[in-house]
């Protein structure tokens, strides 16, 4: 095979260097060598710890402890079998479940009206709104001061839920190329969870692609007007990933810290846990708690989204005591 040598006309058009600090050999030391300085108006590019987030009446101080998000499914076809539409009065059932979850240690309640399991049946925005909005309104009235998130991919459902009293958007297609959901968050001044997802589990290198997809989603959301401090990321365990992908992602959770944003981890009762232990969804509590602890140890579980609040809250508090230095009120650990 013959090769043609590039000509001068084929030279590359490279960016010109700017913001160069000239060498000052007369000063000696480090000044003797040229270097770069930040250009005018540029940020440092080295984000520090995430700033606290006001969510309703509460302040989430990232890094102090792990926050527990309780799942309230207003569905018929939830993979975990906890859909409240199977009850006679789903609104009353949702309020009762929300009360139990808060008593068990939930900091946030996540209300969803459409299943997002693999192969789920599509649901119209009108029907999803009819499920979600009354529950959000009733839970907000019954538990004032408890932050509520809405788990939806529909901008119209998101807006209806925010109007009904929700405080946070939880978008399982947060890496989609469109800006519609981010614009809803910006319009309402609501924080948003951007979750990783793909239509099929095709990757050349899983972890770098997940991080890159999430970073592009963060940039899109900021471009739509969502403040940096209103953004939370979720690696999307079980979404567009095989069980082996999910396990590799759990093993590499610490890589998400490069994004500089709080991380929501949602592994609760997921199929990968069931496949590892050969257990049905209602027997995956211990496996979920194990992933909660692993996420905290990796520094990549600022929020854990769970069905079984009490067990995971206890596991999180124990992990927080070791990893984050958290201590309960009235702690007397220095005494016998």
* φ, ψ of residue 232 in degrees (nearest 5): -125, 145
Give 210-237 as a DSSP string: HHHHHHHHHHHHHHTT--GGGEEEE--T
Active site residue 305: yes
Q: Which of 305, 317, 327, 336 is catalytic?
A: 305
Name residue, tokens 């050349």: 204
CA pair distance 120, 62, nearest whole angstrom: 33
The answer to whether the CB of 72 falls within 8 A of the CB of 111 is yes
C-alpha dihedral sign at 328, 331, 333, 336:
negative
Name, in order, each residue with C-beta under 8 angstroms of 327's C-beta and a sequence gap of 6 or more: 321, 333
- The catalytically annotated residue of 65, 131, 270, 284 is 270
Using CA atoms, how far apart are residues 154 and 173, in angstroms rounded to an integer?
10
Structure tokens at 173: 């297609």
What 3-state DSSP class applies to 149? strand
Beta strands 168-171 and 58-60 are unpaired
Cα 93–Cα 95–Cα 98 angle in degrees, nearest 5: 110
119: DSSP letter: T
Q: Provide the token pair at 334.
A: 């220095």
Catalytic site residues?
A: 270, 305
């Amino acid at each position: 095979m013959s090769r043609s040598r590039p000509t001068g006309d084929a030279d590359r058009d490279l960016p010109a260097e700017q913001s160069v600090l000239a060498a000052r050999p007369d000063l000696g030391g480090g000044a003797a060598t040229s270097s770069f300085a930040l250009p005018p108006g540029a940020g440092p590019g080295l984000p520090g710890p995430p700033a606290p987030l006001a969510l309703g009446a509460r302040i989430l101080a990232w890094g102090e402890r792990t926050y527990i998000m309780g799942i309230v499914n207003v569905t018929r076809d939830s993979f975990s079998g906890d859909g409240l539409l199977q009850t006679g009065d789903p609104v009353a059932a949702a309020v009762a479940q929300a009360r139990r979850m808060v008593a068990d240690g939930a900091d946030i309640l996540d209300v969803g009206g459409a299943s997002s399991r693999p192969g789920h049946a599509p649901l119209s925005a009108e029907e999803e709104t009819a499920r979600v909005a009354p529950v959000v309104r009733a839970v907000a009235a019954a538990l004032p001061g408890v932050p509520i998130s809405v788990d939806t991919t529909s901008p119209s459902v998101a807006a209806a839920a925010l109007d009904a009293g929700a405080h946070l958007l939880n978008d399982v297609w947060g890496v989609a190329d469109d800006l519609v959901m981010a614009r809803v968050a910006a319009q309402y001044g609501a924080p948003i969870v951007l979750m990783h997802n793909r239509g099929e589990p095709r990757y050349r290198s899983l972890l770098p692609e997940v991080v890159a997809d999430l970073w592009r989603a963060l940039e899109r959301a900021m471009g739509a007007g969502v403040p940096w401090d209103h953004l939370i990321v979720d690696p999307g365990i079980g979404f567009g990933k095989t069980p082996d992908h999910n396990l590799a992602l759990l093993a590499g959770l610490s890589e998400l810290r490069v994004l500089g944003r709080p991380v929501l981890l949602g592994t609760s009762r997921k199929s990968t846990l069931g496949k590892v232990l050969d257990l049905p969804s209602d027997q995956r509590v211990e496996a979920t708690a194990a992933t909660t602890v692993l996420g905290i140890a990796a520094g990549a579980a600022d929020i854990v989204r769970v069905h079984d609040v009490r067990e995971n809250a206890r596991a999180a508090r124990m992990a927080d005591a070791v990893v984050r230095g958290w201590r309960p009120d009235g702690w007397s650990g220095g005494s016998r």
